[in-house]
Amino acid sequence: MPQPQPVPSPPVEARTTGEAATPGPGGFARDDPDRFLNRELSWLDFNERVLALADDSLIPLLERAKFLAIFSQNLDEFFQVRVAGLLDQVAAGIRHRAFDGRSPTAQVRELTARARVLVEREERLFLEHIVPDLAASGVVLSSWEELDDDDRSHMVGVFENRIFPVLTPLAVDPGHPFPYISDLSLNLAVTVRDPVTDDKRFARVKVPPVLPRFVVMPDGERFVPLEQVIAAHLDQLFPGMVVDEHVAFRVTRNADLTLEEEEADDLLAAVEMELRRRRFGRSVRLEIDAHATPQVRELLMRELDVDEHAVYEHVGPLDLGGLWAVHALDRPDLHDEPSPPVTPIRLSAPDGEKLDIFAAIAEGDILVHHPYDSFVTSVEELVRRASRDPKVLAIKITLYRTSGDSPIVRSLVRAAERGKQVAALVELKARFDEANNIEWAKVLEEAGVHVTYGLMGLKTHTKTLLVVRDEPEGIRRYCHVGTGNYNSKTATLYEDLGVLSADPDLGADLTQLFNYLTGYGRNVRYRKLMVAPHSLRSGIVDLIRGEIDAGPGRGRIIMKMNSLVDPQMIDLLYEASEAGVEIDLVIRGTCCLRPGVPGLSERIRVRSIVGRYLEHSRIYWFANGSDDGGPLVAFGSADLMPRNLDRRVEALTVVIDPGLEAQVREVIDVNLADDSLAWSLGPDGSWQPVKGDGLVHAQDRFRELALSRTRRLEVDDEDDI
């Protein structure tokens, strides 16, 4: 069987600065902590690659605005979780160093300095490029000062009828303590003066999140930030007072959940309690208008208990995540060309006929590559049909993140109401989806679904589905194992792989896995699955060592994942490189491995694909990994991070079918050949855009491949006529 060959990186052009440590002529010693890149700084590198998309003039304008919104929201979450965790360590006096040798204090210092540089770049990009370019295209992001008298007269009516009734000014004085400022809320700090006594007072006005972030002018082409409209009418909120100053500010709080699961009798109730506590997390960042006076700035710092290092001044609007509202404009000329997904050949019925999805899967495994292959007509359709089919006895599924209006959840409810055995493992601890998952868990329970919340101390991150059907020849199990969540919305935005299968061994494995998740078990053995936290780490280690044993010229490893962080795995990849194994890594986000270092990692190449769709699949390919000495390919839910390998339930499925193996290899090869979306990681930790002729655009190529498979179906249909 032919093997994917290493693709040499084309010449590159420097873009990002990366980390300070640079290997000398002799590289790094095997015990030198600098052989690892810092996890948090590497994540900021990823977000900078997202920001670079907003700076790409070849991308449609509203899509560039979208990438600014994504960058902003990514940074919010980074402070809520990663920076907040480091600040907790500093406050607790913890001096334990990360595996790259940095202390918590050093990390906070470097991260905040780097974040300031990125925020300044974001603001320049927004104010100097996105705003004027949108205006030239007829989408004007206006300030209040730019409105004429007629516009302002219109805004008076809007304010009085739609905005004023929702506002609640909160004064701060001896009788009114400083109000609680909720996480990520946008606010106005207002200083008013009594014209009679000349006394000054401070007040806070919260910009209501229930209102649109931008107020749209009657022409539908101009947008004014909501906080500026409120600021222009503060005299109505403080009648008879003189408004001396008003500035926008925003607070970011520690939003990570802290659960003592061993002490919780009811995990659902415990998570609900932690969600209420999240609102009162410690302040970790204060964003404020750069025009704020020292007095207002110092007051906010004191009341919010933040130091100078936590203050970020902005010259433009705060919270550019609000640009999602602008991105939603109906301007096809400023958006990406629509790219509707297609239905895989094997799941397409001829015109006038009804597809039997169970018969299609029973004929052989089917690979689906989202968003190019439709999630609706594959995975959702399997669950929908299973919910209605009288021959289906049971449906079992893991739900990590699902959409707000989930067709899959509706199908599970319908199945339970029809008397089928339905089991759903709902992960209540999926960060920032906890509240949504709690609501779905309650809906499912009320419908009679057997709902469990996973295993104590472990997050259930695996993406698995099992349908049990009574057929004439006996019970048959239909399976889905994937890399993405059962979420119809993200399935149109995230790149993921999944397999639909009626393979008896895989069905037996999933039966064992679900029994383990909903009941009790120890030393569970699987045939075609590698499952964390039991066999996945050791399985990957054995496969890497197998390539080392194969020797130079034969050993070959290719991995695609979101994040590579685990130090044991990184050191083992270094060992493989020194043993002559050629290694290609496609890492979308965080990568703590230094590639290309002489004597350490000179045979390792790392690239990242960042584009329209979020690369989300995890694929592992080993040239000599199968029992017969040939290639082994596996994919599933796990990245190589300590949390995925040791603290989560994850599953990779081994691909046996030669046709599916070829399809997965095709995904790998296109990723390695891309010279349009790819970035390359250097030994010094800097990421650089791959400079080529633009001959391979991975995401466009995957679209073409999906369409070509559909065209083959049309040709086959014509041949049958």
- Enzyme catalytic residues: 461
- Report angle CA 102, 106, 107 to the nearest 5 degrees: 75
Copy the structure tokens of residue 140.
Answer: 């004007």
How many CB atoms are located within 10 Å of the residue 265 CB? 6
Going by DSSP bridges, is the β-strand pair 604-609/687-689 parallel, antiparallel, or unpaired? unpaired
Distance linking the first and last C-alpha atoms of the chain:
36
Q: Which of 650, 369, 324 is nearest to 497 (CA)?
A: 369
| Residues with Cβ within 8 Å of residue 375, at least 6 apart in sequence | 341, 368, 488, 491, 492
Distance between CA atoms of residues 224 and 147, nearest Å = 9
- Which residues, at least 6 apart from 46, have a Cβ–Cβ distance to it below 8 Å? 588, 589, 590, 608, 610
Q: Are 679 and 607 in contact (CB under 8 A)?
A: yes
Amino acid at position 156, single letter:
V
Separation CA 548–CA 575 (nearest Å): 8
User: Cis bond leading into 239, ω under 30°?
Assistant: no
Asked whether the beta carbons of 660 and 551 are under 8 A apart, the reply is no
3-state secondary structure 140-155: EECCHHHCCHHHHHHH
Separation of CA 238 from chain center: 43
Structure token pair of residue 508 = 């037996």
Q: How far apart are CA 409 and CA 384, in angstroms?
A: 10
What stretch of H or E contains 463? strand 463-471
How far, in Å, CA of 380 to CA of 485, rounded?
A: 12
Residue type, 123: E
